[in-house]
Chains A and B, each alone.
Chain A
Amino acid sequence: MAKKQVSIGNEFVKGLWDQNPVLRALLGLCPVLAVTTSAVNGLGMGLATTFVLVCASLIISLARKLIPAQVRIASFIVVIATFVTIVDLTMKAKFPALSKSLGAFIPLIVVNCLILGRQEAFASKNNPFRSLVDALGMGAGFAATLTVLGGIRELLGNRTVFGVQILPDVWEPWIVMILPAGAFLTLGLMLGAANLISRRRERIAVRMARAAALNERTV
């Protein structure tokens, strides 16, 4: 079976849009919905997840030929849990405020299906460099989406973004945006927008292909 080789650049970019873990693959939605009450929380969660994803992908990719298939999931989880605990302890030691506001969701990164999913689908089949780039792309996509989601909710629900007041005092904060319902509403609208944009891009691509084909025929 010939393997289609994707360029390294695409390996990174796909995580940002085409295979964005939240907007396209709908992975790891539990922390996505729960912690994005502010932009800082979204970014913090995104970076913590990215760190775990990158480290786990690197280790698993390096050890992919040593781990027998029967115990791969167990090994992946142990590796992931190790890095999550490292993040948890480091945050508690150095960023107590952020650690407090993310609460139980840092330890729960262990069961984030995005991370296990990338190990199973990518790192266990690709070389360390590719896995690293893939993990960075996926992590960046995840962190960016969470930051935007948290930013929108914080803006409408609290008038601020990253703690800086943006909307004037006359704006009555929409408390629902900070409640769980606001997470679903915002995520739903973001998914809708993402679908709209990618459908439009597809349509343009089809039209360009058709035009190219027509050109060829006339030439």
Chain B
Amino acid sequence: MKITLHMLATLIVVGMLSGGGLSLVNDWAEPFIEENQRRVRDEAIGFLVPGGAPEQAVDQDGLTAWRVRGEDGTLKGWVVRYAGTGFQDTIDLMVALDPDRQEIRGLKVLDDSETPGLGTWIRLSPDHQAALAGASDRYLEDAVGDAKNFPLQFFAYDEGEHLSAEGDLKVVKGKPREQLGPTEVQSITAATISSVAVVDIVNEAVLKLDTILAEQGGA
């Protein structure tokens, strides 16, 4: 009996100390973590649809969307944030759409656990991100055809063409970008699953946004 009480007391004390300590650390860390997340989010929106102020339009079923308006109030575009299953763990990404939501204007993967050196090509490289931020037409002619530069085709390809935002994108293997149409996405060599995962998430995001906005409009 004595030993049982001793065991109970030990575990209770250990648990209480642990819980108390953690709640203190959490109180300290939480504002920093939220600040980091907000900064990442705002930077990504500002990069995807530059020169505007985002206003949150949708936050429902895991999908968040922002209307980005210019200074004079005109709609410059949309940013949709959505997550889905990748090759390993979740891929969390943002898609930029034109004001009419007909075309895709950009893609940024915020979080993923894809295979380094292969699936990680779904991320925009820092060099390309800098180049795109400086290019008003968002078209990197020399780089977009390379299968490694997967995200670039979501910005613009073939002299400023854009991918379809109808939810009908599909991945095509082994064909160069210039032979593909607006519903076809060139896959990353040796990372087809990651490529398909990204395209699936993009398709699902635009379809879901349509549904949600239709419901909102109808209500």
Contacts and interface: CB of A to CB of B under 8 A. Distances in A.
**Binding between chains A and B:** yes
A71 B7 CA distance: 6
A5 B26 CA distance: 41
B117 A71 contact: no
Interface residues of B, number: 27
A104 to B, nearest CB: 7
Interface in B1-35: 3, 6-7, 10-11, 14-15, 17-18, 21-22, 25-26, 28-30, 32-33
Contacts of B18: 78-79, 81-82
A67 B10 CA distance: 6
A158 B117 CA distance: 8
Interface of B is mostly: helix
A175 B115 CA distance: 11
Interface stretch (A45-53, A91-99, A111-119, A131-139): A91-99
Contacts of A158: 117
B163 to A, nearest CB: 27
A89 interface: yes
Contact of A157 (B15, B30, B111, B117): B117
A93 B36 CA distance: 7
A85 B33 contact: no
A103 B89 contact: yes
Contacts of B21: 82, 86
A81 B21 CA distance: 12
B26 A89 contact: yes
A5 to B, nearest CB: 30
A92 B29 contact: yes
Interface residues of A, number: 29
A94 B14 contact: no
A75 B33 contact: no
A37 B3 contact: no
B25 A90 contact: yes
B118 interface: yes
B29 A179 contact: no
Interface of A is mostly: helix
Contact of B29 (A67, A68, A90): A90
B10 A68 contact: yes
B89 A104 contact: yes
A183 to B, nearest CB: 11
A104 B113 contact: yes
B14 A93 contact: no
B15 A78 contact: yes
Contacts of A81: 18
B62 interface: no
Contact of B116 (A37, A71, A75, A78): A37
A138 B113 CA distance: 29
A217 B117 CA distance: 63
B117 A86 contact: no
Contacts of B15: 78
A162 B134 CA distance: 28
A93 B6 contact: no
A178 B6 contact: no
A200 interface: no
25 contacts: A37-B116, A67-B10, A68-B6, A68-B10, A71-B11, A75-B10, A75-B11, A81-B18, A82-B17, A82-B18, A86-B21, A86-B22, A86-B25, A92-B32, A92-B33, A93-B29, A93-B30, A93-B33, A96-B36, A103-B113, A104-B89, A104-B113, A157-B117, A178-B116, A179-B115
Interface of B: 3, 6-7, 10-11, 14-15, 17-18, 21-22, 25-26, 28-30, 32-33, 36, 40, 89, 111, 113, 115-118
Nearest 3 Cβ contacts at the A-B interface: A93-B32, A89-B29, A93-B29
